[in-house]
Amino acid sequence: MRGRLSARDWGGTGPVILVQTCDPFVYFDILVASSRANRAFCERHGIAYAAFVGIKRGFHPWQATFNRVVLLAEYMEQGYAGWVLYLDADAVVAAPDWDIRAYLAGKSEHAAILTPGDEGAPDWAVNAGVGFFNLGHPGGRRLIEAWSAAFACLDDAALRAAGRWDLVTNDQDMLQAILRDDPALRAQVFLESPARINAREASLIRQVLRAQEPDMAARVRAVEAEAETALRRPR
């Protein structure tokens, strides 16, 4: 399913937009659960929220993982020059009072904000589940251009034949390869601690990974619980 989001769909030209996406089958219930808290966070802080349900390019539900690459490229093509806060469907903003604008203002010289995949991992081995991309920064735009080009190199025949995510290069592997092979670009990425962003017990953004909750029903319940906890926190 190919598509394009207009500037209106993306919430206008505000300086910060939080984006989520998923396929319409496997991860939809998880997105419904996490988006409750994430939309409330956006409303509280006056930032735009956008979600895309479907498969931008591909043939199997898991290939919605590439949506983030296409959406970021589309938004850049539209001339947007702010921050895109990408959160996987299973990620929840756990701190409703987090001053996201102040946080980003202190990172304006960076192309992106990412977290390492594992403790002690090299600085290019990032997790793509939560990532903040500064499209007003030349390095941020270069990163998205390279990521989009890497995905374009994966032809439709390969995508059609890949019924599982491990049968072709996935988008996280592509992102890691870009950063590994470009030290100058890698130096422009701020690595945030997983204790704050992109971990099960993170203080700011929590993610319930498949490795932690392999049963999908249990995973949905876990995301629902995280969202409910965030919504009940004092404001």
**pLDDT of amino acid 171:** 97
* CATH code assigned at 220: 3.90.550.10
DSSP 54: S
What was the pLDDT predicted at 8?
A: 39
List, for residues 107-129, the tens digit of each pLDDT value.
999 999 999 987 788 999 999 99
Q: Identify the three-state secondary structure at position 129.
A: strand
Residue 2 has pLDDT above 60, yes or no: no
Q: Give the position of tokens 């491990």.
A: 166
pLDDT of residue 235: 64
List all residues 6 or more positions away from 44 whose beta carbon is below 8 Å from its beta carbon.
96, 235
Per DSSP, 59 falls in state S
Cα separation of 54 and 63, whole Å?
A: 10
Given a cut of 70, whether residue 4 has pLDDT beyond it is no
Question: What tokens were used for 58?
Answer: 């591909």
Give the integer Cα–Cα distance in Å for 151 and 165.
14
Lowest mean pLDDT among 87-91, 109-113, 209-213: 209-213
Angle between helices 138-152 and 67-77 (to 10 degrees): 130
Residue 216 lies in a domain: yes
Side by side, the strands of the sheet bearing 205-207 are: 91-93, 205-207, 197-199
The torsion angles phi and psi of 208, rounded to 5 degrees, stand at: -100, 100
What residues contact 232, with CB distance under 8 A and at least 6 apart? none
Percent of the chain with pLDDT over 90: 88
Lowest mean pLDDT among 84-98, 152-166, 201-215, 216-230: 201-215
Domain membership of residue 177 (yes or no) is yes
What is the tens place of the pLDDT at every residue in 121-158? 899 999 999 999 999 999 999 999 999 999 999 999 99
Is 11 a domain residue?
A: no
Say if CB 230 and CB 93 are below 8 A apart: yes
Task: Give bridge partners of residue 134 from the DSSP assignment.
Answer: 83
* Confidence (pLDDT) at 119: 76
pLDDT tens string 169-191: 999 999 999 999 999 999 999 99
pLDDT score, position 5: 37
| Alpha carbons 130 and 87: distance in angstroms, whole number | 5
8 within domain boundaries: no
Q: What's the average model confidence in pLDDT over 82-102?
A: 97
Is position 2 within any domain?
no
Residue 10 lies in a domain: no
Mean pLDDT of the chain: 92
For residue 1, being part of any structural domain is answered with no
- Is residue 11 scored above 50 in pLDDT? no
* Spatial contact of 82 and 14, defined as CB atoms under 8 Å apart: yes
Is 102 inside any structural domain? yes
Count up the domains in the chain and report the number: 1
Residue whose entry in the numeric block shows the structure tokens 């505000």: 14
Q: Which domain holds residue 118?
A: 16-232
Any bridge partners for residue 190, and if so which? 113
Q: Rounded to whole angstroms, how far apart are CA atoms 105 and 123?
A: 23
Q: What is the mean pLDDT of residues 22-27?
A: 96
Q: Which pLDDT value is given to residue 157?
A: 98
Q: Give me the sign of the Cα torsion angle 108, 21, 49, 130.
A: negative
Whether pLDDT at 1 is above 60:
no
